[in-house]
A and B are shown apart, each in its own frame.
Chain A
Amino acid sequence: MYSANFDYHRAKSLSDAQRLLASNPGAKLLAGGHSLIPLMKLRLASPSAVVDIGRIPELRGISKSGDGIRIGSLTTHAEIAASADVQKSAAALAEAAGLVGDPAVRSRGTIGGNVAHADPASDLPTVLVALDAKIVAIGPKGERTISADGFFTGIMSTTLADDEVITAIVVPALAKEQGSAYVKFSHPASRYAVIGVAASVTSSGGTCSAARVALGGLVPHATRANAVEKALVGGGLDTTAIGTAAAKVGTDLGNEVTGDIFASAEYRTAVAPVYVKRAIAAAAARAGLA
């Protein structure tokens, strides 16, 4: 497959990237290239210019940040999956990063590119919403921090402006007795999520004191399962309680469930509670409860 013609610019630094973005209207940022390049080769995207930010060292790496973890936007899925810090305090994120695509994709694909691309069947947006992560972006007006919950607005659309560059993802630290998990039903061909569920639960003496559950794959963008969360909080985290809460996902899904030739909307709706249940149970286990 051959893309249409485009101009290529390699940014030497973050400020250089911003300058190139400003001087090339219609340019797209290129990080790992595992989302943008396939679109260009299929000619579903034909940007006039590409600004390659893939070699800006300051955007890469995982570090402790206050109580949480700061993940540079160019950090690859493979690096996130292998990070002991992420595994410890954001288990769901390490899990999800390890399930993205295949080893080649994980070695090149980046968290920033993934989040900016906002494929509805992507894994990381779902997890970031459940973990209450923050997306840090810089633009002509300066830096801003955007809550993941609200950042994703539709199929491949976000609140990021065309002239902004994502610089980092910040995941808050774990509370006491908090655990998180991600479970995924992979499409056998694309390896995108047919259903992806991320859950984060906190217990207080066996009672669920806080819960965030997010859905991906079967909805237009990563979305919180409010009805499930509401049913969990204040109750126990035993199998029955989790099952009852998970069954509420039908309310959250409504009529907007995605279907395709591999898995219909009806089927996805029917089995969604199973994946919700499994995600919550795994998160509860990590919170030290199961």
Chain B
Amino acid sequence: MATTVAAPARIFGSGIKRREDPRLLTGTARYTADITLPGQLYAAILRSPHGHARIKKIDTAAAKAAPGVVAAFTGADTEGVLQCIPCAWLVPGSELKVCPYPPIAKTIVRYVGDAVAVVVADSAQQAYDAVDLIEVDYDPMPATVDPEQAVKPGAPQIHTEAPNNIAFKWTVSGGDIEAAFKKADIVVRDRIIQQRLIPTAMETRGALAHYLPATGELTLWNTTQNPHIVRFIMSLVCNIPEDRLRVIAPEVGGGFGSKIPQIQGDFITVFCSMKLGRPVKWIETRSENYQSTTHGRDHVQDVEMAATKDGKILGLRCTVWAGMGAYLSTAAPGIPTILHGLMLSGPYQIGAVKEDVYGVYTNTTPVEAYRGAGRPEATFMLERVIDRLADELKIDPVEIRKRNLIPPFDNGHDVVTGLKYDSGNYQGALDKALTHAGYAALRNEQAEARKKGRYIGIGVGIYVEICGLGPSQVAGAVGFQGGLWESAIVRFHPSGKAHVFIGSSPHGQGEETTFAQIVADELGVSVGDVKIVHGDTETTPMGWGTYGSRTTAVSGAALAVATRKIKEKAKLLTSHLLEAAVEDIEYENGKFFVRGFPDKSKTIQDIALMANVAWNMPQGMEPGLEATTFYDPPNFVYPFGAHIAVVEVDAETGVVQLKRYVAVDDCGHQINPMIVEGQVHGGVVQGIGQALWERAVYDDNGQLLTGSLADYAIPRADVLPDIEVLHTVTPSPHHPLGVKGIGEAGTIVSTCTVYNAVIDALEPFGVESIQMPLTPERVFNAMSKKGP
């Protein structure tokens, strides 16, 4: 019997447990709300109860006289101290109208939740009690809440600077769209409402600001995805020099995009601390969170697809009205444009596309990125009209996709919108999903069930997404008012342990674990000997933050390059210490050795010690073992995948039961497959939430009717099946580790996959379209219009 000796398991690619979890699961993690400073005060914000109103008078006298109250401020008090909140994605060629967005409203409130005044008191309880004592005399005005209606003549005007409430109009086009539609044998159309969603991070937003009048220094603990951007924006709005402003993102309990922007409460908290010279804390209640933290989606989409009778797609043309809310949030204009329109052709060979996007002000909470940000809305349009086309042409939805997919490529593919996808094998992912799900058998099962009056549906969704944002030159070209590079510092201590400092700011995604795996893999140290430090502008190098599935893709690349610099220096020092030519120094499994003489070697720990004590350094070599990299990626990365959902619709009630969910995703090489699986699970579930349960509802006056978790339905574990997670591996050709992002992938495709499954189940009823979420009532009504 032959004996085999297993090769040492490579730490890169190993599903080790997350080092973040013990503190998160035992309740010992420290969030902004957990931090308390001596002499700390609490702020409570009075918010507009009206969607649109003029403020006639505010009287804070009673509040100021209430027990424990230290101060009360209104918008007038911020005059000359706080600037308006800036928008940081100024999409070019769109006639963007950035209207004044004051941290506290002064004369007009524009959404329910708009900040009107703030009370600062010794306790949160006293602050909230006193807020109720502020008297505001409002003159209510008509509101407009629907992005399509808001642009129509006669609609209430929200900002004088933006006629017809149009914040911007942006167009993307590629190929000859007129010719495509002229040549078409068939055109299918759909109107899709991407309903407004509320991100619902487990931790609400909040801040703790400590301003020291004596030095003019501010320390701000803030629940954010991007502390360095916070410092930049906060410095502009509050006129505090960046060198005197320290922003710390402590433990952050989820963001999903809603912790990218700086919102009113952040500035108000800083303002109060500046005025009072004492630490001030503000933590949103959940009800406040639903009104004041940004929302997502909110598109009205008209889509039409031109095709031949064989099902070959010729063109896609769309008009989108994208609700922006009452003010333009930090990154908002880029989401329904750059992150949406440029991905219109998806994984298919489509010769012509055109999309007009209207960004529209409405009397609602500002809209921002929400997991997937623009890409779910694009993927949904495409995957939905393809199903419509399949239905019209009586071609199987899988077959019609196969006829249009871009063939496999491993180093660049130009698409009609001007992007260059990095690598893809869409057919490969689709085939794997079909095989695993047993597609043919499912179709048979569906046919048999229908005979018995049971309605099973099978939905297919394929996606490619743009993430790993991105080359800074492109950021500038598309109007993003910042860079999109990342940085990493790797610092070895004399004992061989290492600190890694990164500019990005993970908040639950697991990079404290995966980034340690990168260092361990590159340099042969134990994963436990590497600590990842992030989230403090005073200790970490500049970075643009964690969003757009960019942390591993960009920050991870920076780290890989930095570790390789360490390796080069280690080789030089080894050659010096062993008196061998540097060309003869090889590296393997944490050891640097002379080629052919594996015993003549130095470990990375030896080198760390020698570099730090610097007793014997080569001529000209600086002491220490530390490397810094600023990494600007050459291109985005483009993960992709194919998902299949199986549902059953209860014909008597319209209740949809999700029976199976198969996800095949390709994010290139995986550093930690367990963490990838977790990201897929979370992403898929958030997308399913949009398909089946979630929707923010405003009435005509701008009242948020789904103002709490008793009305706004987020997904729950007990109504979800086990998600069957599989992968293909197509490395990114330009990434130093061959990885792509995975944080948003699931969300991008699961909404349309589940939606397609429900419509497929209802095929005998002739149902073509139902508004999301697919509540039992909507499904029931759609079925009731036509019998089976």
Contacts and interface: CB of A to CB of B under 8 A. Distances in A.
B711 interface: yes
A267 B777 contact: yes
Given A263-B776, A264-B777, A102 B697 contact: no
Interface in B703-718: 705-706, 708-714, 716
Interface stretch (A1-9, A77-85, A89-97, A106-114): A1-9
A175 B386 CA distance: 59
A42 B285 CA distance: 10
A185 B653 contact: yes
A261 B706 contact: yes
Nearest to A275: B653
A142 interface: no
A189 B654 contact: no
A271 B716 contact: no
A185 B655 contact: yes
Nearest to A260: B711
Interface string A257-290: 0000111100100110011000000000000000
A5 B129 CA distance: 9
Interface string B198-222: 0000000000000000000000000
A188 B714 CA distance: 8
Contact of B712 (A2, A185, A189): A189
Interface of chain A, main secondary structure: loop
B780 interface: yes
B775 A271 contact: no
B232 interface: no
A207 B378 CA distance: 59
Nearest to A38: B710
Size bracket of the A interface: 20 to 34
A2 B128 contact: yes
A262 B712 contact: no
A63 interface: no
Nearest to B784: A270
Interface in B757-788: 775-777, 780-781, 784
A189 B655 CA distance: 15
Interface in B265-300: 285-287
A271 B713 CA distance: 21
Contacts of A270: 780, 784
A190 interface: yes
B47 to A, nearest CB: 13
A263 B129 CA distance: 35
A188 B129 contact: no
A169 B285 CA distance: 37
A42, A262, A264 pick with most chain B CB within 10 angstroms: A262
A24 to B, nearest CB: 21
A250 to B, nearest CB: 15
Contacts of B101: none
Contact of A274 (B285, B287, B652): B652
Contacts of A274: 652-653
Contact of B775 (A1, A263, A275): A263
A2, A5, A42, A261 pick with most chain B CB within 10 angstroms: A2
Nearest to B709: A189
Given A188-B693, A190-B710, A267-B780, A261 B655 contact: no
B186 interface: no
Contacts of A264: 777
B697 A261 contact: yes
B589 interface: no
B690 to A, nearest CB: 13
B124 A189 contact: no
Give 10 nearest A-B pairs by CB, closest first: A188-B713, A189-B713, A267-B777, A190-B710, A2-B128, A274-B652, A1-B285, A271-B653, A188-B693, A263-B777
15 contacts: A2-B285, A4-B129, A5-B129, A42-B287, A185-B653, A185-B776, A189-B711, A189-B713, A261-B697, A261-B711, A262-B711, A262-B713, A262-B777, A264-B777, A274-B653
Interface of B: 124-125, 128-129, 285-287, 652-655, 692-693, 697, 705-706, 708-714, 716, 719, 775-777, 780-781, 784
Interface of A: 1-2, 4-5, 42, 102, 185, 187-190, 261-264, 267, 270-271, 274-275
